[in-house]
Amino acid sequence: MLWPMLAIALAFCGIAVLGVLAVRVFVEVRRLSRQIAESSHRINRAVADLERAAGPLATQVDSVLHRD
**What pLDDT sits at residue 60?**
79
pLDDT tens digits in sequence order for the chain, 68 residues long: 899 999 999 999 999 999 999 999 999 999 999 999 999 999 999 999 999 988 888 777 767 777 75
**What pLDDT sits at residue 59?**
78
**What pLDDT sits at residue 68?**
57
* CA separation for the pair 64, 57 (Å, rounded): 11
